[in-house]
Amino acid sequence: MTMEPQPSLMPFKPVLSFGARMAKAALGLLYPPSCIACQGATGEPHGLCAACWSGIRFIERPFCERLGTPFQVDLGQSLLSPAAIADPPVFQRARAVAEYDGTASLLVHRLKYNDRLELARALGTMMTRAGAELLAEADVIVPVPLHRWRLWRRRFNQAMALAQIVAAESGVPCDPSLLHRVKRTRRQVGLTKAQRQENLQGAFRVLPEAKARLKGKTVLLIDDVLTTGSTANAASRALLRGGAAKVDILAFARVVTES
């Protein structure tokens, strides 16, 4: 099934008074809504034009039930990929909106490095839809944390921005204090899978005062991009050791390699 362009990325429209509608119309004349990717004209704010929407490769079934990676052929049943069988992840399930290329990679890059925090609204809305089955079972949402020095330099955590939108739209509470990044690690870009795992060893921790709140909970861990799964595994391992019953992963995009 293919996702069709929608007039808005928001799940509903609030009922506006006549005065509010007139004010919105006047504002639209002064600042016409534009595509969040290319800045071209759109019908509604915080959305994508048809061309940019078509540039997103949405991940839909059939996909690996553990890793969320798409299959090329629909075999008509729930399956695990060879990668999930050969090297099972620490987390239970992973889901993502789209493959990390084209429009999706552009949006993530702008959110992460260009201080485009307003993009979190649209991306988080799409994540809420893509992760509906995980959110239905989740007790708490936890963003993948940044180390304090990286947070100081970047000024915000993109995973936290996305987690706040997902929490607001789903009604599942977000508790960023459940997981801390206690080790300053190198950037993962350019590292092999083994190097990524070594780099992240001991990077995350559940502090003693958070363990009572975490005990027995099903956690939905939020990140912007899922690459090799090394960060997701390291964070999930820390959450499980801290008392979580299960950890699922929800990202906006994921890197998909051809098998």
Determine the pLDDT at residue 10. 37
Q: pTM to 2 decimals?
A: 0.83
Beta carbons within 10 angstroms of residue 166's beta carbon: 25
What is the identity of the amino acid at 184?
R
Which residues pair with residue 249 across a beta bridge?
94, 221
Domain boundaries along the sequence of the chain:
49-71+78-254
Q: What is the pLDDT of residue 76?
A: 63
> What does the block give as tokens for 168?
């607001």
At what angle are helices 119-130 and 102-113 packed, to 10 degrees? 130
Largest CA distance in the chain: 61
Residue burial 168-186, b: 16+ Cβ < 10 Å; e: rest: ebbebebbbebbbbeeebe
The pLDDT of residue 199: 75
Paired with 94 in beta bridges are 249
How far is residue 239's CA from residue 205's CA, in Å, rounded to a whole number? 7
pLDDT recorded at residue 189: 67
Written as six digits, the tokens of 167 are: 């929490």
Three-state SS at 222: strand
21 Cβ contact partners less than 8 Å away, ≥ 6 residues apart: none
CATH class, domain 49-71+78-254, is alpha beta
pLDDT tens digits for 29-65?
Answer: 445 688 888 888 887 777 889 999 999 999 998 999 9
pLDDT beneath 70: ranges in the chain: 1-32, 75-78, 151-152, 154, 186, 188-190, 258-259
